[in-house]
Amino acid sequence: MKKYDVFHKTVRGASHIGRGTPCEDASTSFASVQENEKYYIAAVADGHGDPACVRSGAGAQKAVDIALDCLRIFAEAVLHPDTELDSIKEDLFLARKREQHMKQLTDTILSRWSQAIYADLINNPLTDAELQAVGNSAADYYYWLKAADSNLFEEGNPQTCASKKLEHFYGTTLMAALLVDDMLILLHQGDGRCDVFYQDGSVDQPIPWDDRCQGNVTTSLCDADAAVSVRTCVIDLSEKPILACYLGSDGVEDSFRNMEGTHVFYRKLSCKLIAHGLPNFLNYLEQTLPEFSTEGSRDDISVAGIVDLDALSSHTAEFQEIAEAYDRKEKIYVLQYKQEEYRKRLNEDMPRKLDILRRQLDALFNELTDLQTKKEQCENTLHRLRQEYTAFESDTEKLKQEQDDAFPKFAIEEACRNIINIPQYHPADAVQFEKKPQETQEYIAKQEFLLQQIATLQKNVDKAQQEYQAYKSKYKQAQEALRAIETALEELSAREESDRKDEDNG
């Protein structure tokens, strides 16, 4: 039998870190390399994110631990021909008997997992915070707890005392793989994906899919029909030898828009595994999977695998080429998506925004024109006032001269009036002269006011011109951004077409 290597790694998701919630995934792997007793196991479990599944992380850990133990027992039964199960290998390739063996295996896992759940509830009762989170199920729990305290378990079985099953507190998925004696045995309940790579470099997902697993909905070990809904698969490695079997929680597949992305993810992992070697590869996963979660699904990430490193090494160049082609295609897709989004914005938002900008530009232009007109009017008024003021100064000088010329006559008349005590007489010209200084000040004040008004109008004109130029700049930038995206898309499309022609010619 060939030598394989196993690995597993679980990291806390970005959304869990952000919310301050614990990791709800779990994974494990095991390799027995003793002579005549070689087998390899990998398993992952994804605890449910439902707030009522208050111990889903513990449920996931118990699931992988129990699956590992049951698969070890099953592998040793296959490898030891002196047991009562000495025909189990042959039976696994007969449909009816294979179903019997697989059901016995999965029933054992489910039963032991359920027993472990109730044992944990006895040893670690729900806290007040957990009771609040489970909501209406708290009544079922109290009913069960009362029976537990009264030692009323039928035949020592705590499950029988629950009015409703309480396993959903620990709800989780489970996916596991056992490679033993040229057989790859797979079992799966819930979401997540298993990618199997074959010696010709091809890949598929051989475990039958459950269509109930859609979006955030998944089947679970805690389901009432879990015993009949667990999917299984057996691959004869003598007919279809494999390079690797990878198991991943849904945090992996949800990071991609299609399943091709999931396949490429495991191809890249294969290349990194060959490049780093197994011990350093685990450090690589520890460092990169958190970033992968942040940029992708933001969920907890679990990966585990059984790999033939020698056979896998001959495919790294092919896998790398496929990965690079996929990355180029994804880059084009992202640009096309962005272009489509820009087009939608142009079709939906941009006409409205451009219309608003045009109206704002028109309004600013009209305001600018109005301000310039007012400025010209003020300048004309100021010019007229200056002319009037000049004429007024000339009149004032003339009146002063007339007053000087008339002063002796005024003096004689005033003296006569004082003597004969007659009413005071003021010639019209003298009264007009007395009023002129006051009118001079009014003209000066009016001139200063108009100068201030012109300065204010000039500031408003300058501001309106600046805003007008800013809006024109924004409008131009929006058009340039759209043209840049279209140019980049055309360049990448041309490159993709060139690569396709090179592949055809090659």
> If we measure between CA atoms, which residue out of 322, 313, 299 comes closest to residue 270?
313
Average pLDDT estimate for 406-416 = 52
SS (H, E, C) 351-398: HHHHHHHHHHHHHHHHHHHHHHHHHHHHHHHHHHHHHHHHHHHHHHHH
* Residue predicted with more confidence, 488 or 31: 31
328-370 pLDDT, tens digit each: 999 998 888 888 877 777 677 666 776 777 787 778 778 778 8
Query: What is the structure's pLDDT at 131?
Result: 87
Q: Is the pTM of this model over 0.85?
A: no
Query: What is the structure's pLDDT at 448?
Result: 73
Question: Does the pLDDT at position 429 exceed 70?
Answer: no
Q: Domain limits of the chain?
A: 5-193+204-237, 339-505
Query: What is the structure's pLDDT at 236?
Result: 93
Query: What is the structure's pLDDT at 88?
Result: 77
54-111 pLDDT, tens digit each: 999 999 999 999 999 999 999 988 887 555 545 677 777 777 788 899 999 999 999 9
Strand 25-34 vs strand 37-46: parallel, antiparallel, or unpaired? antiparallel
113-163 pLDDT, tens digit each: 999 999 999 899 999 999 888 888 877 887 777 666 655 444 445 554 444
DSSP string, 280-346: HHHHHHHHHHHHHHHHTT-S-EEEEEEE-HHHHHTTHHHHHHHHHHHHHHHHHHHHHHHHHHHHHII
Query: What is the structure's pLDDT at 231?
Result: 96
* Residue predicted with more confidence, 404 or 445: 445
